[in-house]
Amino acid sequence: MSKIVRALGNLSIESMFDWQNAEVWYYRTVYLYISTNFDVLFCQYFKILSFRVVHTPGHTEDHLVLMLEEDSTIFSGDCILGEGTTVFEDLYNYMKSLDKILELKPTIIYPGHGPEIPDPCARITEYIHHRNLRETQILNKLKESSEQPLTAMDLVKSIYKDTPEHLHVAAENNVIHHLSKLVKEKKVGKLSFESTEIIFF
């Protein structure tokens, strides 16, 4: 089973992009030795596992997770990690994907990286809470500065006060993901002047 876990754990297959909620069967070949007047090698296929393919964009646009239908085990790829939090291309889609996985009520998660997750619903809820907390901080700062539009770096300097300055560029990228999500949700507006992006509430 561990070989299957690792083989499927880091799944992102563009050719399966439109296979939302499709079913994939994993087959094992079983050889039965029959001794009669002559030797016969008999080969038969047995269905031993069935998976549901679920499109979970966010980490990447074509990201997928697999759910083992027999016991609701999830193979999460890079969407949910065994340790820490993952990176993502689109936070808006990523949050929706987390909700989608939570609705599947997984019993255990085997991630593409790190140890297995025996309490998946609690871990997913923790992911969602962490992102919602950061989003609330950003919205509050924009409300406080409603008369003065702010850049992403302005928000970083205000919110990440305990973060070393050499990490501010990485934090800025994180804030930009949050702002892009908020713009899609029409909670935040965006203006650009001379290639400098100004964000306002």
- Any idea what the Cα angle at residue 78 is, between residues 165 and 68, rounded to 5°? 155
pLDDT of residue 57: 92
- CA of 151: how far to CAs of 58, 98, 114, in Å? 24, 28, 35
Which CATH superfamily groups domain 2-118? Answer: Ribonuclease Z/Hydroxyacylglutathione hydrolase-like (3.60.15.10)
Distance between CA atoms of 109 and 107, rounded to whole angstroms?
7
Q: pTM to 2 decimals?
A: 0.71
Mean pLDDT per 10-residue segment, the chain (201 residues): 40 41 47 42 55 88 87 91 86 94 94 93 93 92 82 90 89 89 86 54 51
Closest by Cα among 44, 47, 43, 77 to 59: 77
Phi-psi region at 169: left, alpha or beta (left = phi > 0; alpha = psi -120 to 50): alpha
Are the beta carbons of 121 and 105 closer than 8 angstroms?
yes
Report the C-alpha gap between 116 and 107 in whole angstroms: 11
What does the DSSP assignment read for 61-108? TT-EEEEETTTTEEEEETSS-SSS----S-HHHHHHHHHHHHHT--SE
> Which residues, including other chains, have CB under 8 Å from residue 166's CB and lie 6 or more apart?
none
The whole-number pLDDT of residue 142 equals 87
In this prediction, residue 47 carries a pLDDT of: 57
